[in-house]
Amino acid sequence: MASPKLRAFRERAIYRGLVAVSAIGRRIPLPFGQFLGRTLGRLAWYVAARERRKALANIGIAFPDWPEERRRGAVKAMFRHLGMCVFEIAWLPNMTEALRAKNCVIEGFDRVLERIDAGRGVIIFTAHCGNWEWLSYVTGTFGRPVSVLQRERDSPQMNRYITEFRAKAGVRTIDRGSTASAREMIQAVRRGGILAFVIDQNIRTESVKVPFFGRPALTPIGPARFAVRSGALVVTAYADRLPDGRHHLVFLEPVECTRDDDPVALTARITAEIEAHIRQVPEQWVWMHDRWRERPQWEV
């Protein structure tokens, strides 16, 4: 496992790279940025050997019946996808209502807007599939309150970059480790807005094991507990990139949450919905993440 110093060094390097890409990406047409991103991703397949090996091992766990050639093809496509995500994020501040209509296919968000406009709080669960920052940013452009809970990073510069980037679309970032995070989450729901969680990663927080591609995987339980206690509406949302370069954003039917609901069952259901989506676009999920890693000290 990488030390905190090494993680901080990596994030500083990523931050500098994002600043450089942002200077280019916001000034060029989106299709050209996507082309540059694919080129960057192809290079990363060869250069990032450690991440390539981890991704190949993990996709083998999820799809043991796939031949090696198919797994390698999916991971290669994943690198190209992530490269495109970098340039798309750089371009996103150019987003207008007209460009949103041109570059997005959005399903089900009208139901979410209806609930919010009626004064309800909505909790959105999503995953690191497709371009999740595109999903967050576009959601913010509809003019309703949107907050996102995130794990605070080791690099303050990286935290500031992401927070300021999201704020351009009116999206508020709540740091999970901050002393005010609980109050900010409660306010986000009570005021009638969106609070978003990303729960498809194995992180250092209270977690429960639920099935993910047929194997128990530690998954944060806090978001589901909060949803149950708040009595908010729960929506699973996901994004994927279409072959023509547009982004497909889907918001499933809002589900009423009550205090009698089981947070573990809710976490399992949402994880199953996330898995079903990943199976549709396996090349658009972050396979280098250690999803099935054991963390006994965090299991509850």
**Sequence ranges of the domains in the chain:** 4-298
Would you state the pLDDT for residue 281?
A: 97
Rounded to whole angstroms, the Cα distance separating 252 from 235 reads: 6
Q: What is the mean pLDDT of each run of 10 residues along the chain (300 residues)?
A: 68 78 89 96 96 97 98 98 95 96 97 94 96 96 94 76 92 86 91 94 95 97 95 94 96 92 96 97 97 94
User: What type of residue sits at position 146?
Assistant: V
Residue 133: count other Cβ atoms within 10 Å of its Cβ: 21
Query: pLDDT value at position 156?
Result: 77
At 42 the pLDDT is: 97
pTM score: 0.92
pLDDT of residue 191: 86
- Spell out the long-range contacts of 210-216 with Cβ–Cβ below 8 A and sequence spacing 24 or more: 210/264, 210/267, 210/268, 210/271, 211/268, 211/271, 211/272, 212/271, 212/275, 212/291, 212/292, 213/61, 213/62, 213/63, 213/275, 215/61, 215/292, 216/292
Beta bridge partners of 241: 247
